[in-house]
Structure 1
Amino acid sequence: MRAAVLREIGSVAIEEIDRPVPKMGEVLVKLAATGICHTDKSMVSGGIPAAVPLVLGHEGAGVVEAVGPGVDSVGVGDHVVLSIVVSCGACYQCGLGNLSICEVGSLMSPGGLMLDGTTRLTKGDEELFSLLGQSSLAEYAVVSARSAVPIRKDIPMTVASLLACGAGTGYGAAVRRAPVSLGSSVVVVGCGGVGLAAIMGARVRGATTIVAVDPNPVARELAQKVGATHAFDPTKDRVLREVNTLTKRGADFGFDAVGTKGTVELAFQCVRPGGDVVAIGIEDATNEVEIDLYSLLMQKRVTGTFAGSLIPQIDIPAALELFVDGRLPLDALVSETYRLEDVPRLLDPEFTLPPGRAVVSFEGVA
């Protein structure tokens, strides 16, 4: 099968590798669509450490081709979203319902391994690492059955794939991680696919003032299209003053969907005393956040989320029902569709992805 393989920083190539075989508790999925995420680009550029050789991709959706022993949650022919939440279901965190920070999955998955500490990907005698338990920039992927979420067959795969990571992360940040409620005011810093999904989530939860912050005019326009009530350019507008004018005391919630120097701090400055900030994005794993102690004494809170803190089997189908009902315009995030052969160019550190989400579509898959 064909797959996008990272062998060294800055170099991605489409290679022929072996089709993987599912083991106990796993499923084999034929990919129909995979979103291009900034995490992929950060790994290619070296901003986020990656075990190599690595098969890229972690925002997949497709059709179940085969199931391993012990799997009864999905069957051959099912349409599934491949969530980046890799959970064992038995550890302390899973017992608390914190599936996205499973003690086994959060150890194995970032290191390029499956839950049992091995890899399913090979090229002859060579072993290849998996990205977040799926490696979906390939024609086939093996994933844990707990990460394969059955969905309705009438949902476009290009839309469904977004909930595997980017859109699921932004949406979950607003509906799971932060207690956004009716009448809340929200600031979202960064209006790529993740930030736009956070805006949608805040809107679904009943936020009435939603401020989008992004230097890109196309991103700001798209943010207002999907639910932002106001949009500002941080390079030209005095964002803090504008937010305080709109809210009188600062926003109730702030979300940073960028993760570069100063963006968490901007969200933190924009929330009121007692407000909550959720860090969603990460541009570089070495970035640090500096906040003032007095604001902490004023009961401002900063937290983060991985994968939107979603419970995939509940939250992903629910989000897609909202999409079908016209309340969660996920299709607005699909900015461009590409072929697998385009992936090396898309992940080149010098290539700028469009606002929203670029999606690789695989031909010949329902």
Structure 2
Amino acid sequence: MRAAVTREPGSVSIEEIDKPVPAMGEVLVRLAATGICHTDLSMVSGALPAPLPFVPGHEGAGVVEATGPGVEDVGVGDHVVLSIVVSCGSCYQCGLGNLSICEVGSAMAPGGLLLDGTTRLSNGGEEFHSLLCQSSLAEYAVVPSNSAVPIPKDIPFPVASLLACGGGTGFGAVVRRTTLWIGSSVVVIGCGGVGLTAIMAAKVRGATTIIAVDPSAGARAMAEKVGATHVLDPDGDRVLRSVMELTGRGADVAIDAVGRKGTVETAFQSIRAGGEVVAVGIDDASNEVELDLYGFMMQKRVTGTYAGSLVPRIDIPAALALYRDGRLPLDVLVSETYTLDDVPGLLTNEIRLPPGRAVVCFDQPEERP
């Protein structure tokens, strides 16, 4: 099969490698669409650590082509989203319902391995690491079966792929990690795929003041299109003063979908006493946060999330139901589509990523009777 391969930081090439074979509890998926997430760029560049060589991509959707032994929850021909929530189902965190921070998945996925501690990706005798148990910038991917979430066959694959990572993270950050209520106010810092979906989810939850912060005019325009009531340019506007003027006391909730130096601090300063911050993004593994103790004495709360803290087989179908109902306009985020041959340029900044989401589309898988 053809796959994008990173052999050294800052380099991506399209190579022919072996078609993977699913093992116990795994499925083989022929990819139809894969979104380009900022995490892919960070891992390719080396800003976030990744074992080399590896096959990038972690926002995939496609059709199940084969199943390994013991798989009963999905079948050949099913349309699926490949969630980055990888869980064993039996560890302490899984027992608590915290599937996104499964102790096994959290250990194996960042190390480029599947849940059994091995990889399915190879070319002859050479092995390749996977990315977050997925590696979907390839024609095929093998994933744990519980990460393959069945979806209705009328949902477009580019739309569905958004919920594998970015869209699912933004959605879950709101519905799983905040206490947003009808009439509340929210600040969203960063209007890429994660932030834009958080804006949509905040609107669904009934927030009436939704303030989007992003230096890109295109991103701010898209934020208004999906539900932001106000937009701010951090390079030109006085963000904290504007938030206070718009809310009267500070926002009820702030979501940092960027994770650069100073963005969590801005989120913390923008909320009212008793408000809450959800840290979602990270662009460099060495980033640190410094917050004032007095803010905590004023009962401000800070939490974080990986993958939106989703329960994939509950939350992804719920998000798609809202999409079908016109309340979660995920299709607006699909701003440009590309082919697998474009991936080296997309992941090394030779091709400038558009606001919203760039999605790599593969040949449409044939339907099986």
TM-score normalised to the size of structure 1? 0.99
Q: Matched residues in 1 for 2:118 and 2:46: separation?
A: 23
Is the Cα contact below 8 Å between 1:260 and 1:282 reproduced in 2? Answer: yes
Contact 1:45 1:349 in 2 (8 A): no
For 1:351 and 1:265, how far apart are their aligned partners in 2?
A: 31
Aligned-partner SS, 1:160: helix
Aligned residue type for 2:159? V
Q: How does 1:130-141 map to 2 (within 5 A)?
A: 130-141=130-141
Q: Output the CA distance in 2 between the equivalents of 1:364 and 1:186.
A: 39
Match of 1:271 in 2: 271
Per the alignment, residue 169 of structure 1 pairs with 169
- The alpha carbon displacement at 1:257 in A equals 0.6
Cross-structure match for 2:244:
244
Alpha-carbon distance in structure 2 between the residues aligned to 1:85 and 1:186: 26
Partner of 1:332: 332
Decide which moves more: 72-81 or 232-241: 232-241
Give per-residue Cα distances to partners, 1:324-358, cap 9 Å, x unaligned.
11000000000100000000000004543111000
Confirm or deny that 1:309 pairs with 2:309: yes
**Which residue of 1 is the match for residue 192 of structure 2?**
192
1:20-77 Cα deviation digits (max 9, x unpaired): 1001100000000000000000011111001011011000000000001111100000
Instruction: Write out aligned runs for 1:1-366 (5 A).
Output: 1-349=1-349, 351-365=351-365
C-alpha distance in structure 2 between counterparts of 1:349 and 1:294, whole Å: 41
1: CA distance, partners of 2:150 / 2:44: 30
How high is the sequence identity, in percent, across the aligned residues?
74
Unaligned 5+ runs, structure 1? none
Indicate conservation of the 8 Å contact 1:273/1:299, yes or no: yes
C-alpha displacement of 1:310 = 0.3
Provide Cα deviations, 1:214-264, integer angstroms capped at 9, x if missing partner: 111111110010010100101111111111111111000000111111111
> Deviation of residue 118 (structure 1)?
0.6
Judge conservation of contact 1:267–1:277 (CA < 8 Å) in 2.
yes
Distance 1:152 1:272 in 2: 41
Tell me the distance in 2 between the aligned counterparts of 1:5 and 1:200. 34
1:10·1:349 contact (CA, 8 Å) conserved in 2?
no
The answer to whether the Cα contact below 8 Å between 1:44 and 1:349 also exists between their aligned partners in 2 is no
Q: Aligned letter for 2:78? A: D
My pick for the range that moved more, 175-184 or 99-108, is: 175-184
Cα distance in 1, alignment partners of residues 280 and 364 from structure 2: 34
* CA–CA separation in structure 1 for the residues paired with 2:143 and 2:364: 21
Query: Residue type of the partner of 1:184?
Result: S
**What's the TM-score, normalizing by structure 2?**
0.98
State the Cα deviation string for residues 164-194 of structure 1 (Å, max 9, x = none).
Answer: 0001001110111112121110000000111
How many Å separate the matches in 2 of 1:110 and 1:184? 36
